[in-house]
């Protein structure tokens, strides 16, 4: 009986010790669980916040896109149009500080003949053709007295050579007979000459006499319609509409810059939108290639590292990286740009 009584306290002590051990073991487990739960909760909160932020960013982007679309859809006021048009001209002046007429000429007579020959062909082909023509017939008197068949043969590469021969020989005779062998500097006199319209007259007036004029060729007309300066398609109406957006003093250089841009970047079929410096101002952005790397491959002339259209370009063009065009029959120099 004594033994049993003695064993009882020992048993109780052992049981208490076991409970204490269990409690001690359970405490860290509980602590770990609590830490894990807190960490998990923090992670979930962070993920939720990131998801929420992403969602907000996406919403903001959609909202912004809608806002831009809405702004684009709103009609542009006359004042806003004038400001945008003039800003485009300023931007183009920075991109093409060397813009110039892309026909080779040394005097008003050569420019007049070259401009008439440029109809339905490239300035490059005209520039490759006129050296031989002007070497043989340097003055209006010489050309007026020429053998038509010989003139036709010399200008054949420009196309429509029979009609063009008639025009340039006719204007040469008119200069000889009515203007003392000199090219007149007035619009009303120039348009009376055979084969000379307003476009040709403005080219001559602006570049041979320094008198302001807008040259509406295919490039000019295409770009001003893309930019929503006008919706007119008739050259005379385009000239009037665009002329009202700018002071007269800007007209000649504006023409050069727009034509330069149309030949180098804003092409008819594949405009290089992704490489265009005035893309933010252009309502037609997206009609062409928008990827910058792909668009870069569409650039022409000095912008793409290729020869220009003049055999004798201005020094400013050469300084800007422009390459002279090769003479007729010669191979073009390889591209030096990307």
List, by residue number, the catalytic residues.
199, 217
Q: How many CA atoms lie within 13 A of 293 on its CB side?
A: 0
Helical segments of the chain, H only: 2-73, 78-95, 108-117, 123-136, 140-144, 148-155, 161-178, 187-190, 198-208, 218-226, 235-243, 251-264, 292-296, 315-319
Q: What are phi and psi of 101, to 5 degrees?
A: -65, 135
Positive/negative CA dihedral, 229, 231, 235, 238: negative
CB 100 within 8 A of CB 208: no
**C-alpha torsion sign, points 146, 147, 150, 155:** positive
Classify the phi-psi angles of 182: left when phi > 0, otherwise alpha if psi is within -120 to 50, otherwise beta: beta
Beta-bridge mates of residue 307: 323
CB 40 within 8 A of CB 32: no
Closest CA to 158 of 176, 131, 182: 131
Exposure b/e, 16-53, CB count within 10 A at least 16 = b: eeeeeeeeeeeeeeeeeeeeeeeeeeeeeeeeeeeeee
Cα four-point dihedral sign 164, 107, 213, 285: positive
**CB under 8 Å to 116, separation ≥6 — which residues?**
164, 167, 168, 171, 195, 196, 200
Q: Exposed e or buried b for every residue in 267-300, given b needs 16+ CB within 10 A?
A: beeebbbbbbebbeebebbeebbbeeeebbebbe
């Amino acid at each position: 009986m004594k033994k049993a009584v003695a064993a009882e306290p020992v048993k109780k002590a052992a049981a208490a010790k076991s409970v204490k051990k269990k409690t001690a073991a359970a405490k860290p487990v509980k602590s770990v669980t609590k830490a894990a739960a807190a960490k998990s909760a923090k992670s979930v909160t962070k993920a939720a916040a990131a998801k929420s932020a992403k969602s907000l960013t996406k919403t903001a982007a959609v909202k912004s896109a809608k806002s831009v679309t809405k702004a684009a859809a709103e009609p542009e006021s006359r004042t806003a149009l004038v400001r945008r048009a003039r800003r485009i001209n300023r931007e183009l002046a920075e991109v093409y500080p060397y813009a110039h007429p892309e026909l080779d000429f040394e005097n008003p007579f050569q420019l007049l003949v070259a401009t008439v020959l440029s109809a339905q062909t490239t300035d490059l082909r005209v520039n490759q053709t006129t050296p031989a023509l002007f070497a043989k017939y340097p003055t209006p008197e010489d050309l007026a007295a020429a053998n038509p068949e010989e003139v036709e043969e010399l200008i054949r590469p420009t196309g429509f050579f029979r009609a063009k021969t008639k025009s340039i020989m006719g204007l040469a005779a008119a200069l000889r007979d009515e203007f003392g062998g000199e090219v007149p500097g007035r619009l009303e006199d120039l348009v009376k000459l055979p084969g000379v319209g307003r476009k040709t007259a403005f080219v001559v007036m602006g570049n041979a006499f320094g008198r302001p004029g807008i040259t509406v060729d295919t490039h000019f007309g295409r770009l001003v319609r893309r930019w929503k300066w006008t919706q007119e398609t008739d050259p005379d109406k385009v000239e009037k509409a665009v002329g009202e957006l700018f002071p007269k003093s800007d007209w000649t250089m504006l023409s050069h810059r727009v034509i330069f841009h149309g030949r180098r970047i804003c092409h008819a079929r594949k405009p290089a939108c992704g490489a265009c410096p005035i893309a933010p101002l252009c309502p037609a952005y997206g009609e062409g290639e928008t990827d910058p790397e792909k668009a870069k491959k569409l650039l022409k002339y000095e912008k793409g590292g290729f020869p220009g259209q003049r055999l004798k370009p201005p020094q400013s063009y050469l300084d800007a990286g422009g390459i002279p065009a090769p003479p007729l029959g010669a191979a073009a120099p390889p591209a030096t740009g990307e």
